[in-house]
Amino acid sequence: MLPTYVLITPARNEGRFIELTIKSMVAQTMRPLKWIIVSDGSTDGTDDIVRQYVAKYPWIELVSMPQRSERHFTGKVHAFNAGRERIKNLEYEVIASLDGDISFDEDYFSFLLQKLAEDPSLGLVGTPFKEGSNPTYDYRFASIEHVSGACQVFRRQCFEDVGGYIPVKGGCIDDIAVITARMKGWKTKTFTDKVCYHHREMGTAQQSLLRSRFKNGAKDYAIGNHPLWEVFRGVYQMGNRPYLLGGLLVVLGYFWAAIRRSERPVSRELVKFYRREQMRRLRRLLGGKAVSQTTELQHPPHCA
């Protein structure tokens, strides 16, 4: 028997893509007990699209939040928590966060639930995501233990141990949850047997691609990336679009945040834990001992 699950989707102005996500969920071989779609002040018709499906499928519920002027990541957390409040009286074993701009095949959730059922030490699972024709990502620089924020499937106890998502305005709430889960002793893993398809390019909802690269570097500093790891990461990113400049901006964003001594929303304990992980991976890379799994399928991490 697969574990029972609930699903929460914070959605802000996802009118272009959310129907793709809904159609993917309706087609699932194993549907959730409840799917709460939280429209976070959407003004583009997102609510109207969702209502069409709510009328047909009683396990889908729409929660509409008040409009707000800014788009930032604390809003996503507040929306998620509003959805979680609606399922607090349900008995479930797994809770998943799903973005409103992705699609996937009909066995996607049954596949991930099976992985949790097979290994009780797994606290969080997911798959890589694919964006258009972008090249696949090298998992030497995004550990197989990282789980993209596009779809994070938590064992309920793990999510509660983590303390849920932390409302950080600058982002990386998904990354913080993944790292904290491992720090708490849970295993986290991306399974490359499947992918989901991300229809909006990562980090570009209200900003240019170059600006998003600079901000990604600042986010890397915020969650505690080791400086040496960041330099290698930037060099690797120079081989991806936008070539050279994109990787340079990642590094510049990191060191600009370091010079300014930007506040870190994570504990020193988490920073030390994460840096130890990165240095272990870097030693494997420089020693030519990269694990064979790491090149099976390569996609950029999703840092929300």
Give residue 204's pLDDT: 47
Q: pLDDT category, 169, cuts 50, 70, 90?
A: confident
The domains found in the chain, sorted by start residue, are 5-198 (3.90.550.10), 209-289 (no CATH)
Residue 191 has pLDDT above 90, yes or no: yes
Task: Give the range with max mean pLDDT: 43-47, 109-113, 208-212, 278-282.
Answer: 109-113
Residue 44 has pLDDT above 60, yes or no: yes
Query: What's the mean pLDDT in 44-50?
Result: 95
Task: Tell me whether strands 34-40 and 60-65 are parallel, antiparallel or unpaired.
Answer: parallel
Query: What's the mean pLDDT in 74-95?
Result: 95
The tokens 């709430």 sit on which residue? 173
Give residue 11's pLDDT: 94
**pTM reported for the whole predicted model:** 0.88
Distance CA 128, CA 233 (A): 18
Q: Would you mind telling me the total number of residues written for the chain in this entry?
A: 304
Q: pLDDT for 107-156, tens place per residue?
A: 999 999 999 999 999 999 999 998 876 655 556 556 799 999 999 999 99
